[in-house]
């Protein structure tokens, strides 16, 4: 018997199958690339049940798999992208081929490193990326020179740069190292290149950036370039029971 609930929105069903995020599923529907029971959809305003036949991009929609979440230690010089027209390495070049199709939760730019969460559930990806989820992203950064207390107070109050408003950013000093300073940065929004932009704006450009935590999930001692599955029980606990029933733990590593 299928575990797909009756009356589930079509975009959510596609996301749960791990094909893409719900937003991308809605885009595919608008482009006429989704059909249900032989009829091409023009709107995502449709509920589907376990017996409906769904085709996306000409391929039958796979059965929804139990949600899985992985921690990946992304190295510098690797893109958080499926492919790159310039031929630069991507995270998928570093992941073991036996893993299911995974999508990143948030992004790290090519020059950044550290914790990147990966999931097979597009709906979970969307949930974890929403600012309303309230999870704090924490980074360890090396910046030029020692920031002044009044500069850090500006960031804690929120700051607007080139018309983009950034919410409160907490910065604490870790240690000085010659002309550089290591700082710890905590924020909730995670806008594109947020840490780099705000620190450069106050005169302390970032020369190294490492994400050490995303909400309750920590980078810990996971070696660079390796991936490890989060215990499904832990995922359920952290999401308040929102994840599907547990699956066998599969710890996969690759240097």
Q: How far is CA 47 from CA 24, 120, 123, in A?
A: 17, 22, 16
**Given the DSSP bridges, would you call strands 170-177 and 137-144 parallel, antiparallel or unpaired?**
unpaired
- Under DSSP, the state recorded for 58 is T
Q: Is 109 a catalytic residue?
A: yes
Residue with tokens 């106050």: 202
Q: Which is it for the CA torsion 33, 37, 42, 47, positive or negative? A: negative
Residues belonging to the chain:
255
Structural tokens at position 71: 């921690």
Residues 6+ apart with CB under 8 A from 78: 88, 89, 90, 91, 93, 94, 110
Q: Distance between CA 140 and CA 203 in Å, rounded?
A: 18
**Given the DSSP bridges, would you call strands 164-166 and 159-161 parallel, antiparallel or unpaired?**
antiparallel
3, 52, 109, 174: the catalytic one is 109
Identify whether the C-beta of residue 169 lies closer than 8 Å to the C-beta of residue 161.
no
Q: Which of 105, 122, 102, 108 is nearest to 211 (CA)?
A: 108
Catalytic residues: 109
């Amino acid at each position: 018997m299928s575990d797909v609930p009756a009356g589930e929105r079509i975009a959510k069903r596609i996301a749960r199958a791990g094909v893409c995020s719900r937003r991308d599923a809605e885009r595919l529907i608008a482009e006429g690339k989704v059909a249900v029971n032989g009829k091409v959809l023009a709107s995502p305003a449709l509920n589907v049940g376990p017996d409906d036949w769904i085709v996306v991009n000409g391929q039958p929609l796979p059965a929804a798999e139990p949600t899985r979440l992985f921690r990946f230690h992304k190295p510098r010089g690797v893109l958080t992208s499926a492919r790159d027209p310039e031929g630069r390495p991507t995270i998928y070049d570093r992941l073991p081929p036996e893993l299911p199709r995974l999508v990143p939760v948030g992004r790290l730019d090519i020059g950044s490193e550290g914790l990147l969460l990966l999931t097979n559930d597009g709906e979970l990806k969307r949930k974890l990326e929403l600012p309303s989820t309230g999870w704090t992203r924490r980074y360890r950064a090396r910046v030029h020179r020692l920031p002044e207390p009044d500069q850090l107070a500006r960031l804690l109050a929120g700051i607007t740069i080139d018309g983009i408003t950034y919410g409160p950013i907490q910065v604490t000093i870790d240690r000085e190292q010659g002309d550089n300073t290591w700082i710890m940065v905590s924020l909730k929004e995670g806008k594109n290149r947020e840490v780099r932009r705000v620190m450069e704006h106050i005169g302390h450009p970032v020369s190294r950036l490492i994400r050490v935590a995303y909400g309750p999930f920590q980078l810990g001692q996971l070696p660079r370039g390796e991936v490890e599955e989060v215990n499904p029980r832990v995922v359920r606990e952290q999401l308040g029971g929102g994840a599907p029933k547990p699956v066998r733990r599969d710890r996969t590593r690759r240097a």
